[in-house]
Amino acid sequence: MSRPSDNAASAGRPVGQAQTGSASSSAQGGRATGRRVRLTVSRVDPWSAMKMSFLLSVALGIAGVVMVAVLWTILAGMGVFESVNGLVGQIIQDGENTFDIMDFLGFGRVVSLAIVVGVIDVILMTALATLAAFLYNVSSSLVGGLQLTLTDD
């Protein structure tokens, strides 16, 4: 089954014009307007929702890890960690034990934490999207689903 826009384009007609040639013209210069189709989304496939949410959450997790690494590099380049070390050293002033913020906020530790948060994010977002698809299917069977109006302008 082909789409109406494919049939109209292959017949040499503009895509916005219907096959029967009954495109309505508006009062503003006679432009052809597209058809309006009213559709109802009655069911969302949970398997496809799970696959899409998995791929999107993996992409967001990778972007988050890269963002954390870039932010840490920028802060280290600006000397923020050295300033914090100096400030905390003045406050504590313990000659025997020196405070080093890199023991707590080293690059490897921060990126490892970002990876753990990304993995947890992937698991939770995938599970929540799949659950949302199931809940949508149940509620759409009760109330009829989501109604959309589409045009092919």
Concatenating the DSSP letter of every residue in 71-98 gives: HHHHHHHHTHHHHHHHHHHHHH--SSS-
pLDDT in the model for residue 96? 72
Q: What is the pLDDT of residues 8-24, one digit of tens each?
A: 444 444 444 444 444 44
Token pair belonging to 80: 């923020």
- Please, which residues bridge with residue 151 across strands? 36
Phi and psi at residue 16, to the nearest 5°: -75, -10
Q: What is the mean pLDDT of each successive set of 10 residues along the chain, which is 153 residues long?
A: 45 44 50 82 94 97 97 94 84 73 89 97 97 95 91 83
pTM: 0.67
In the chain, where do the E strands start and end?
A: 36-41, 146-151
pLDDT in the model for residue 43? 93
